[in-house]
Amino acid sequence: MTSLSMNNLSMNKIQRGNFTVEFAIIGVVLSLLLTFSADVIVKLSGKGKLDRLSYAMVNLLKERTQLYEENYVPDQDSVDLIVTIATGSLQRTMGRFNPLNFGYLIESVTFDAQQNATYTTFPSGTASLSGIQCVLREPLSQMTYLSKMTTWGRRSALYRVTLCYNTDNWIGQLLHVDFIRIQSDAVSIGR
């Protein structure tokens, strides 16, 4: 009888040890899952803000032709104004916005009377409000097929605003992966 009760005590200790190890493993996995989920949620929220803002800024760039007559080529003053508006909006909507983690690239393609294209860019670094460079897969100069012939017999201008922001890298630090930058761009056809 004593040998039977000794076996039960020994089995109890082994089961408690197994439970502790399993609980620790499950705890680590759940922690990683929660960290990953929180990181993705923060990045998706930031991406949504950049999506809305890039769309609004490209429309401001396009509609300025209504205000400034036939001047379809943006200049540094209009770009600085758009960047100031974008930075102010991000400061209001992002809790811990840092201008040094923000970047932009504003592009335009305009056409002269002979349908020759002129490509103009305004990258981050030309204004004091930016800190990082946005990276594009394809510049707007290679997307001239988007321009259509207007009713006035000329090709419409193209505008693109690209905004990028470096976020915190929670899961990347744990898994040693670079998962920092969020980026959004919007293209608009001019009048």
What is this structure's pTM? Answer: 0.78
Alpha-carbon gap, residue 164 to 103, rounded angstroms? 5
Q: How many helices and strands (H and E) does the chain possess? A: 3, 4
**Residue carrying structure tokens 């493993």:** 25
Higher pLDDT, 138 or 11: 138
pLDDT of 36 over the 90 cut: no
pLDDT of 166-186, one tens digit each?
A: 888 777 777 777 778 889 999
Alpha helices in the chain (DSSP H): 2-67, 76-93, 170-175
Residue 1: what pLDDT?
Answer: 47
Sheet arrangement for strand 158-166: 117-123, 102-111, 158-166, 181-189
Residue 15 banded pLDDT, cuts 50, 70, 90 = low
Residue 136 neighbours by CB under 8 Å, 6+ apart: 105, 162, 185
pLDDT of 43-65, one tens digit each?
A: 888 899 999 999 999 888 887 76
**Residue carrying structure tokens 């916005």:** 97
Task: Give the SS3 label for residue 177.
Answer: coil
At 29, the amino acid letter reads: V
Residue 161 banded pLDDT, cuts 50, 70, 90 = very high
Residue 31: what pLDDT?
Answer: 86
Alpha-carbon gap, residue 118 to 111, rounded angstroms? 6
pLDDT of 17 over the 80 cut: no
